Structure formats: structure tokens, C-alpha cells
A and B are shown apart, each in its own frame.
Chain A
Amino acid sequence: MNKDVSIKVCMGTGGIAAGGVEVMSTFEKALASVGIKAAVQKNCSMHKVGCRGFCARDVLVDVIIDGTKSTYQYIKPDMVERIVQEHVVGGAPIGDWLVTDDYHTFHDKQVKVVLSDCGEVDPEDIDSYLGRGGYEAVKKVLTTMTPQETIDVIKASGLRGRGGAGFPTAVKWDMAIKATGPKKYLICNADEGDPGAFMDRSVVEGNPHAVIEGMIIGAYAIGAPHGYVYIRAEYPLAVERLHLAIKQAKERGYLGKNILGKGLDFMIKVKLGAGAFVCGEETALIASIEGKRGQPKAKPPFPVQKGLWGYPTIINNVETLANVPYIIRKGASWYAAMGTEKSKGTKVFALTGKILNSGLIEVPMGIPLKEVIYDIGGGIENGKKLKAVQTGGPSGGCIPANMVDTTLDYESLSKVGSIMGSGGMVVLDETDCMVNVAKYFLQFTQSESCGKCIPCRVGTKRLLEILTRITEGKGREGDIELLESLAADVKTSSLCGLGQSAPNPVLSTIRYYRDEYEAHIYEKRCPAGVCKDLLSYSILEEFCKGCTACTRVCPAGAIIGEKKKPHKIIQDICIKCGACFETCKFKAIKKG
């Protein structure tokens, strides 16, 4: 047999959790047993690849025979034997197991830059990255460009920081190149604390060398010999792959002293977080690397003036840095041709919540939200109706369903009262209560507030208390106005971005769902049927068949009645868990 066979198994966190390691080893065994590995060893290769965005379908496996690729979804070890027999040996792909059309729609509207090599390269093998043009950009800047020319290319590309604020990367680097002193630092921010976000994890896991390459270019541009990657301890696989990639890059002369013989010195250290969201804020991150409590400081001085150990420091997000090598390789005008006038290039989003195709996506800036939700995302789960899309995590806001024409760029999103943020996108449907969603974000910011400044420490607590009492049916007249004025105070007087943006989810939900707040406060009713204290369950006698299914699932023993006769819920005993509602086949349980 002289077929050219290549098999790629998805081994991102999602792929591994779904059994990727077992699938891969079963393939190895099965191929060996039919003699393929032995006979055509050179032609048959197995790869582990990083996340390709569609983790909900893991384990995803590509079988490429003589250049023709077939992608299988939901693969388990016991399915491997048949794939090898029928497809690899027999030449006939197994139709039922192949990805369905929506896998292709999921990919078709996407434009991949940062993710272009994720799912293609083996993240644990530098040669795999080199084989796809990796480290060419480092060679290019070191041999043909000055640091200033490098910054000029980034400026012309229009790249803006992907960590949340969208600050132009070249402007930051320009300030750093001008800063003088015995030392400078470049830090890659991989703390990714925003709930609902996993873009940076996937990039580091899927293509760590692109981040390293971006850092080397940044270090050359600003003249920083020392680099750090600050990464959360919650991402063990990303940490492991990052360490390995740094080691490999060092062995090949891309890191260390006199890089590629061009006189550049640059080394990267990895620093692990220890479970504090605020450490993603740049001054807090610096304090954390210094070994202190990760509390933010007032700015100015900005890190570029006085950063790590007092030296000029540039902090960039993972995705920002991972864009850099591609911009250098393909040119500023190629990059600037994508996106809108003020938001160039692409953005990676983590699409989650009540969406059919959840996963990691990369789209050109300026794409309408509608296309992301319905074309790429495949619409809402279980045929329910879209209610809102939350973007920007705890610093962001909600875009209501009637505004799905909003385009995804920095300016449009802030116009509708949300933000681009780091890229979290949580889809909510008609069964989600917006007051509760706001409460959830405040719970997060309140518990993550470092406590240093009073507006944030006390303000988020008060906001949370008011939201909690509203969801418990104890809301008072004037609570909405109180939330609004308190939110304004916290925004203007907090020390760092955490407090300054913490009220956004409250303000944005009040802006679009004031009626829902009013229903909770004045009518003691939760329109979405979520807030337990405002709910009651009862049985509609005309529909009840007396099948006793509900009595069997009720954990509180609150349902009584004889077989084949209408049942009854005793309100004093009911704990409002909703088990009966979920179980009843006859729609005889009324929620409201």
C-alpha cells in the first residue's frame, strides 16, 4: 500500500476531556495491526493538534488520504477500528460519523488569523510550526527591519489590544521604545479571568509558538531583554505546552542570547497566577510578579513609565501578540484590509450559553452579530427564542435580541452600551432572567474586588445586596433609581478597571430590561420564571392524568394524589426545584 495517510486528533483541553488521548493511542494500535505504520511509516503520520474551536463535537479526527480530508466528530476509541478498516484500508469514509453540514457553516463565515494554525500544527512540536512558516517573521524583522520599522508596520496594520480596552498596540510600543533605562520588560498577559472567555487558553494550547514569536518581535521592537508570561494556574495544559514551547524555541536559537546570530537577547519566564481575577489588571499583575498581593495601583505612572521593579514595562494580551507574527509575515495592508475603519483585523470570540454550536470562533471585525449567532452559531438551542447576547464579561453589557444587527467592532459595541472586552460572548434565551444575570456578574466582581478602594469594595457589595433583594421579591420602590445612582458613583470613583466597569452589567440590563426589573419589584413576578422566591408551581387539573411521575421525582414529598386522579402540590412543602415541571409529559405543571 502506498497511500499518503495522515491522521489528526484534536487534543485541546476539550479534546482531551472527551478522550482524545485514548482515541489517539487506539489509532496507533489499529494502524500498526493492519501493517500501515510498518509498511508506509514515512507516509503515515499521526498528529495531535490544538483546539479547532468546535469542542462540543470532540473528539474530532481528520483522516487525510492522498490530500483528501474527511473530518469525523464524536469519535470514541471503540469507533477507531472501523474507521481504519473501512476508510484507511478500504477507502470508503463512514458517512454517518462524518461531521454534518453545520460543521462547515460553523467554519465558512470565519476568517482565521490568530487561529489559522490552531488545529493544524502540533503544539508540542516546533517543527510543525516551522513547517507552516513559523518564526519567519522573527527572521524578517531581525534581518531586514529596524525596531522603529517594526513598530511602523504594526501601526499601519491598525492592531489594537485584544485584552479588553482596545488600545493601539503601536502607540504603546512607541512609548516603550522612547523610554530609557537599564532594563525594560515585556509581559504577555495570559491571566484570562473574564467569565465566559477561553480564547487565550485555546491560543496558548493550540499554537504557543505564535505567542512566543509575537513576544520576540515585540521585545526587539521596544528593546526589552526580559519577558514574562503571566498565566493562570487553572490552565495546566496551557502552562505545560508553554514551558515546552519555550524550551524548544531556546534550543533552536529563537530565545536566549544573540538570537539567530543577530545580537538580540531575549528570554521568557513563566509566572503562574494563584486564583485572583484582579491580577489581570496590569498594575496588579506587576505587583503579583513581584511577589506581593495583587492589588492595582493608581495610574499614572503607567507601567510603560514605571512598571516591573520600577522599570519601563509593556503588557500585551495573548491574542494581541499572537497577531503580530502574521502581520509581519503577510504585511500591514493585508491585515488592515479586514475589519472596519477603526477596528482592523479579526477578533476571536468564545461563543457560549444557549447557542447550538458553542465554541471558539474568529471573525472579521465589523461582522453583524446576527451572522455570528445564526450562521456560525446555528441559532438558539432547543428552538427557543434569543433574548440577549452578553459581551465583555463582567465589564460589559447585554445586546438585546432586537439589536442583533449591531456589528462587532469597538465603536458599535460601546454605542449600544456594551464592550468588545476580551471576547466572551454568552447567549441568553427567553428562559434567562436579566436581573439574575446582572446579579451573577455582581457576585463575581464583588468577590473578586481586591478591597483596596472603598467605592469598589463597598459599592459592589451594596449593588449586589439590592439586586439580591429584588430577585428575592423584596425589592422596594426606588431601587432601580438607587442602583443607577450608586452605579454611577462606583464607576467614577473606583481605582481600577474592575470597579470602574463592574456596574456595567447592571446599567445595561436596566437600560434594555427595565420592565423586567419593575415586574420583580412591583408585581413580585419574574417574567422568565427563574427567581425561585417569585415562583410557584401548581398542577392544572384538566391536564393531569395522575401518572404519579411527579410524585416520584419530587425530592420534598410535596405532591399528593391518588393514581389516575389529578394531583396537588402542597405549597408550604414545595422547594421550587422544578423537578416536576421537567418530568411531566402532559404539560400539567404550571410555573408562574
Chain B
Amino acid sequence: MLSDKELQDINAELAHAATKASASVDALNIVQRHQGWVSDEAMKDVASMLDMTADELDAVATFYSFIFRRPVGRHVILVCDSISCYVMGYNPLLDNIKNRLGIAFGETTEDKRFTLLPISCLGACDRAPAIMVDEDLYGPVTAETMDGILEKYK
């Protein structure tokens, strides 16, 4: 069941959308903002609001890497794996983060605090290597600054 707030936000989106289907990604984003991810059940509920089948909507959802179809932790750490970060120390940074959290890409820590994901260029290449935690950008990130960064997210 979608919450009242979710319904309200999605309806607001639909009110000014050119077609119902064109609001698909926005609607999924709304659900994700509230629930952290998009469950099968939420998928069905949203699809019916958009006059789509759940499968049709899922086909859209799975195309975009920012729509999560599995639960994620309270905070998502995105590590840029593109060229500028790569030449400026991506590999040691990634090893450091993985060791610290004890998880690999695509995994969530046991306490559900962090999920670790790769991302292509964050547009912070002059501060490489860069990472993004939720919506906050950090760079250049070193083994030392990593401590302080993780501290901020409980």
C-alpha cells in the first residue's frame, strides 16, 4: 500500500505530466524517497496509477540504475569508477572502503547503515577520487578523510 503522502506526491506529478506514462520515473523516485527502494507491491500500485501493467513499469525501472529494486541501507555510498578517478587513486580508495565496511559492491552492511554501489563519473573529476554519500559529494577522498565522512552518517 502506498502511503497518503506518496499518493499525494504522485498525483501532483501526474497533474502536470504530459502523459501518465511520462511520469513513470518520477513516480518511482517518489516511492523510493519514502521507502528507500521499490518493492514488487509498490511497483503494482504505481503501475495502476499510470495505467500501465507492473511488467511494463518494471521494464522501465530496471533500465535506470538509480531505481533500486532491492532494499538498500539507510545511506548509499556511490564510488566513482570513471577515468579521472581511476587514474587518481580509485583502486586503493575502493579497497579501503570495502575493508572498512566489510562489503562489496551491491551489498549492504549488516546494520543496514550503508549500501555500496559503483557509479560512473560524478562530475567531480577535478577532485578525484570522488564519492557521493546520499546527495553529498566528497573529493578528493583519502584513507584519512574517509573516517570523518562515514561518521556523519548514522
Contact = CB atoms under 8 A, between A and B. Distances in A.
Most A CB within 10 A of own CB, among B21, B26, B64, B128? B64
A234 B132 contact: yes
Contact of A293 (B59, B122, B124, B127): B59
Contacts of B16: 269
A426 B87 contact: yes
A275 B137 CA distance: 16
A206 B100 CA distance: 36
Interface stretch (B1-9, B78-86, B107-115): B78-86
User: Taking each of A13, A354, A360, which has the highest tally of chain B beta carbons within 10 Å of its own beta carbon?
Assistant: A13
B25 A288 contact: yes
Contacts of A428: 87
Interface stretch (A134-142, A437-445, A462-470): A437-445
Contact of B83 (A198, A201, A236, A440): A440
Interface in A268-296: 269, 272-277, 288-295
A186 B81 CA distance: 33
B64 to A, nearest CB: 4
Contacts of B125: 195-198, 350, 352-353, 358, 424, 426
B127 A195 contact: no
B24 to A, nearest CB: 4
A195 B121 contact: yes
B123 A198 contact: yes
- Identify which of A13, A234, A275, A424 gathers the most chain B CB atoms within 10 Å of its CB: A234
Given A276-B63, A353-B88, A290 B123 contact: no
Contacts, number: 135
Task: Name the prevailing secondary structure of the A interface residues.
Answer: mixed
Nearest to A424: B125
Given A197-B121, A444-B120, A275 B83 contact: no
B126 A56 contact: yes
A440 B86 contact: yes
Nearest to A355: B126
Interface in A407-450: 424, 426, 428, 432, 437, 440-441, 443-444, 447-448, 450
Nearest to B32: A274
A88 to B, nearest CB: 29
Contact of B126 (A55, A192, A288, A432): A55
Contacts of B84: 195-196, 352-353, 426
Interface string B31-71: 00000000000000000001000000001100111110000
A577 B89 CA distance: 12
A359 interface: yes
B60 A17 contact: no
Given A276-B63, A290-B19, A294-B64, A235 B87 contact: no
A13 B137 contact: yes
A473 interface: no
A351 interface: yes
A214 to B, nearest CB: 20
Contacts of B135: 236
Nearest to A582: B92
A3 to B, nearest CB: 35
Interface string B118-152: 01111111111000100111110000000000000
A432 B136 CA distance: 30
**Most central of B60, B83, B92 by chain A CB within 10 Å:** B83
Contact of B121 (A194, A351, A443): A194
A192 B19 CA distance: 26
Interface size class of B (residues with CB under 8 A): 35 or more
Contacts of A14: 124, 126-127
Nearest to A192: B123
A350 B120 contact: no
Contacts of A444: 82-83, 120
Nearest to A279: B64
A259 B84 CA distance: 43
B23 interface: yes
A412 to B, nearest CB: 22
A426 B121 CA distance: 13
A26 B95 CA distance: 37
A234 B119 contact: yes
Contacts of B67: 274
A441 B121 CA distance: 12
A234 B87 contact: no
B143 to A, nearest CB: 11
Contact of B124 (A193, A198, A236, A273): A198
Contacts of B83: 195-196, 353, 390, 393, 426, 437, 440-441, 444
A540 interface: no
30 contacts: A17-B127, A17-B136, A195-B83, A196-B121, A197-B125, A233-B29, A233-B66, A234-B122, A269-B16, A272-B25, A272-B26, A275-B119, A276-B64, A277-B120, A291-B19, A291-B23, A291-B25, A352-B88, A352-B128, A353-B83, A353-B87, A353-B125, A354-B87, A393-B83, A432-B87, A441-B83, A444-B82, A444-B120, A450-B63, A577-B95
The 4 closest A-B pairs by CB, nearest first: A195-B82, A274-B64, A198-B123, A275-B66
Interface of B: 16, 18-19, 21-26, 29, 50, 59-60, 63-67, 81-84, 86-88, 92, 95, 119-128, 132, 135-139
Given A269-B16, A274-B65, A353-B128, 10 more contacts: A55-B127, A201-B123, A292-B60, A295-B63, A358-B126, A390-B83, A424-B125, A426-B125, A437-B83, A441-B83
